[in-house]
Amino acid sequence: MERSTSKVLFTSSSNMKKFLQKILLFIWIPIVFIGTNLIVDPSGLFIDLSEPVEHLKNNNHLGSFTNYDERSFVKEFLKRSNGEKYDIVVLGSSRSFQINTNSFKEKKRLLNLSLSQARLQDLVTIYYLLKINNITYDTLIISIDPDYFFGKPDYRWRSYERDYLNALNEFKIQNKLLVSNGVKPSALKQMLSTDIFKLSIRKILQNDLKHYELLEDSSGYKGSIKCPDGSLLYPMNKRNSGDKENISQFLRNKNYFVSNDIIVQRKTLFESMVEQITSTDKEIIFYLSPFSPRLFTINSLYKNNIELTETYLKVNLSSYTMIGGFNLNEEYPDSDMFYDLNHPKRSLVNELFAKSLD
């Protein structure tokens, strides 16, 4: 009986040892997977944003500073700019990133707060953050994008959702427009992402582990550059108006609704925001960033959204200064004046402002 019991215990102990060996054999896989994503951090989840903010405020440039939470960055920048005075502040989407200090004949202190994939929620929130941080300016430029009215909901603005809700209360805006396309992925979910792991491995192989390059100026750098005034310089090898892959990707993504009219909720939120902003005695300029002529020949659905937006703006904002236009094909028929289908080159933007403010 004792021998039988001893044999059972030995067998159990042996099975347990084999089980532990199997665990030890495979446990390194999730450790390496998560550890790699954590250390490389290709999405910029754990960047201390106060450091790049200070670099910009010290008049430095940031090279290849792209994978980070732009909303949190802008919020941190405005927090550290409390009480400062600017000549011009710009609100808008990536299509207004090219508005810069040199867009104006006279030397101006400009702050470009444009955001990638911006929605109306972003405009409301950034305007509120300017207010609570006591940042003043002489002129506010609001870049209008058809995606404010027709773009599919996006989750990025939820980075400062609490500020957005505070803004609605502060400005007494009833239309909350809380819809977003999903929720912002949690840090844990991104750490477990195979896509993030692939990106981490790619950065390791390319020996590209920095989140940005600190530059004294923009000359000679081949990547994208975040400038001290908040504007962004695009590299020509990244954006190309004649690139077939770029065009097919735009057509494939289809991040917009097709409609015969602007969604009422969005129209109401936009008009409430404009009413709030125009209640001050500051100068307001609305900017319509042009699209490449190629877009109008390959995408009739988006062309419809562009035309509806421009018609609405001309009717409702006719009393304000407006610069540019979505369709400037007659004046600028050359696609080479655009980085891609959506983004005009800095030289074209500067020319539009020089003409309009002459």
Give pLDDT tens digits for 66-96: 778 899 999 999 999 999 999 999 999 999 9
DSSP state of 68: S
The CA-based dihedral angle spanning residues 267, 270, 271, 272, taken in that order and rounded to the nearest 10 degrees: 120
Write the DSSP symbol of residue 101.
Answer: G
How many beta carbons lie within 10 A of that of residue 248, not counting itself? 11
pLDDT for residue 156: 81
Q: Which pLDDT belongs to residue 138?
A: 94
Return the pLDDT at 322: 93
Please provide residue 112's backbone torsions phi and psi, each rounded to the nearest 5 degrees. -95, 115
| Ordered DSSP codes for 225-246 | EE-TTS-EEPPTTT--TT-HHH
Give helix 70-79 / helix 50-57 axis angle, nearest 10°. Answer: 60
pLDDT at 238: 54
Residue 41's SS3 state is coil
**pLDDT computed for residue 37 by the predictor:** 67
pLDDT for the residue 57 = 95
- Which residues of the chain have a pLDDT value below 50? 8-10, 181-183, 241
pLDDT for the residue numbered 241: 47
Taking the model in full, what pTM does it have?
Answer: 0.84
H runs (alpha helix) in the chain? 2-26, 28-40, 50-57, 70-79, 120-132, 147-150, 161-170, 187-191, 194-205, 244-253, 264-278, 293-298, 300-316, 346-356
**Phi and psi of 42, rounded to 5°?**
-65, -20
How much is the pLDDT for 8?
47
- With CA atoms as reference, report the closest residue to 349 among 97, 68, 146, 88: 97
Tokens of 262: 């602007």
